[in-house]
Chain A
Amino acid sequence: MMKDDQLHAYVDDALTPEERELVERHLQDNPADAQRVRAWEANNRSLHRLFDPVLEEPRPLHLRVRGPSTAARRVLPIAAALALGVALGYLARPWLAPGPPAAPLIARQAAAAYVAYSPEVRHPVEVGAQDEQHLVAWLSKRLQAPLRVPVLSSEGWQLLGGRLLPPASSSDPAPIALLVYENARGQRLSLLVKRESTQRDTAFAFSQDGPTRVFHWIDGPFGYALAGDVGREELQRLAELTYRQLNP
């Protein structure tokens, strides 16, 4: 008498060659069991035909590997767009409002862009790192000066790609580029690059907006702001590495 477990193990290819042979001999002599085994196998094939197409389906945009709470996720893409809009609008307001001294414009722009784009799993960038040449050419053209892309892989950060951001306001119409990096833990880092009219180099300056820390500086025609949810020391190390790479 053959136990059903052996028949299932036969269907699931979990038997040694000797056991397989025993089951096959049993099936020859027991047409009822053979029919059951054929039905189980046929049903497995049907399951594959039914559900394998899911493997090829494009992923819904709201599915993200790491992300905010359940309640937030369906509105998140909209919320991110709104947050960016509000942030940019806020940045564009005149310098009249009372309150604590705010971080400079470029640092606030960097923090806003980081918050808006770093949670994106699928579309954090418009042009991916695999098209780096195209990315550099495109952003350089829009920024009207040759852009260099720092390599941060020695610190464990790989370039994901870049995107272009809208100017902060009509009075400050300089286009803004954003490069996005990722480390092995899925954390993101963004480097904002913007044309600066002052042409006056500055030292590193640090600011913080919630968990997002920013180092910014001006160097030649560009202002840079490196933003991320990483420790201040690590961020400073990365900012220094970026600066050295841009000034070899």
Chain B
Amino acid sequence: MSFDGRQIEELLPRLRRYSRALCGSREAADDLTQDTLERAWLKRAQWQPGTNLRAWLFAIMHSVFINGVKRVRPTESLEALGDAAPQPEGAARADSGVQLSEMAAALRRLPDEQREVVLLVGLEQFSYAEAAEALGVPMGTVMSRLSRGRERLRDLLEGGAATAALRRVK
């Protein structure tokens, strides 16, 4: 007995949110989600009932993602970034005072392995143990990637804010 389609349907919005945050464009995110769903369906017999279906699905998404990344580097162009996140009304500002578009850009500049952990823990509210399960790494690795990723994101954003402030002063 494996899971049924409805259990996946329930998790689909979250798979799509994580995918969008992980990938550059909406199109790449939908492709990643679709490939994940297909792989999950093929491997459905391997899922153990009673275990964490969400972590299992995100683990599949992780392996599809890293295999895909080896084939094509996600684009880093600004046009693609504009498409990456839903556009908030006006120039919405993040809590730290930077624009949300700057957050999207900074996120793109994180190494993949750090971006994954920052998003799983910070956006998807995975516990460290669940993140370790989804990524197939020890918890210590999750912690060190989280630490480096969050600090790098902070540097990128504070650097960006400082530059923006300088520009405004001029």
- Which A residues are within 8 Å of any B CB, using their own CB? 4-5, 8-9, 12, 14, 36, 39-57, 59-60, 62-67, 69-70, 73, 121, 182, 184-186
Contact = CB atoms under 8 A, between A and B. Distances in A.
Contacts of A69: 38
Interface in B20-75: 20-21, 30, 33-35, 37-38, 41
B-side interface size class: 35 or more
B106 to A, nearest CB: 9
A46 B94 contact: yes
User: Main SS of chain B's interface residues?
Assistant: helix
B132 interface: no
Contact of B37 (A67, A182, A184): A67
A184 B21 CA distance: 31
B92 A49 contact: yes
A14 B128 CA distance: 9
Contacts of A64: 34, 37
A63 B152 CA distance: 34
B116 to A, nearest CB: 13
A12 B95 CA distance: 17
Contacts of A40: 122, 150, 154
Contacts of B92: 49
A47 B154 contact: no
24 contacts: A8-B146, A12-B121, A12-B128, A41-B95, A42-B94, A43-B94, A45-B94, A46-B94, A46-B95, A47-B118, A47-B122, A48-B123, A49-B92, A49-B100, A50-B100, A54-B13, A59-B16, A63-B33, A64-B37, A66-B5, A66-B41, A67-B38, A121-B5, A186-B5
A43 B103 contact: yes
A49 B85 CA distance: 10
B88 interface: yes
Nearest to A60: B30
B37 to A, nearest CB: 6
Contacts of B158: 39
B141 interface: no
B85 A50 contact: yes
A185 B4 CA distance: 5
B20 A51 contact: yes
Contacts of B16: 54-55, 57, 59, 63
Interface of B: 1-2, 4-6, 8-9, 12-14, 16-17, 20-21, 30, 33-35, 37-38, 41, 85-86, 88, 92, 94-96, 98, 100, 103-104, 107, 118-119, 121-123, 127-128, 143, 146-147, 150-151, 153-154, 157-158
B17 A52 contact: yes
Given A63-B34, A63-B37, A47 B123 contact: yes
Given A59-B12, A64-B34, A185-B1, 15 more contacts: A40-B122, A43-B157, A45-B94, A49-B92, A49-B94, A50-B21, A53-B86, A54-B86, A57-B16, A60-B30, A63-B33, A63-B37, A65-B5, A66-B38, A186-B6
Contact of A4 (B8, B14, B86, B147): B147
A3 B34 CA distance: 40
Contacts of B128: 9, 12, 14
Contacts of B30: 60, 62-63
A96 B77 CA distance: 61
B31 to A, nearest CB: 8
A47 B103 contact: yes
B21 A47 contact: yes
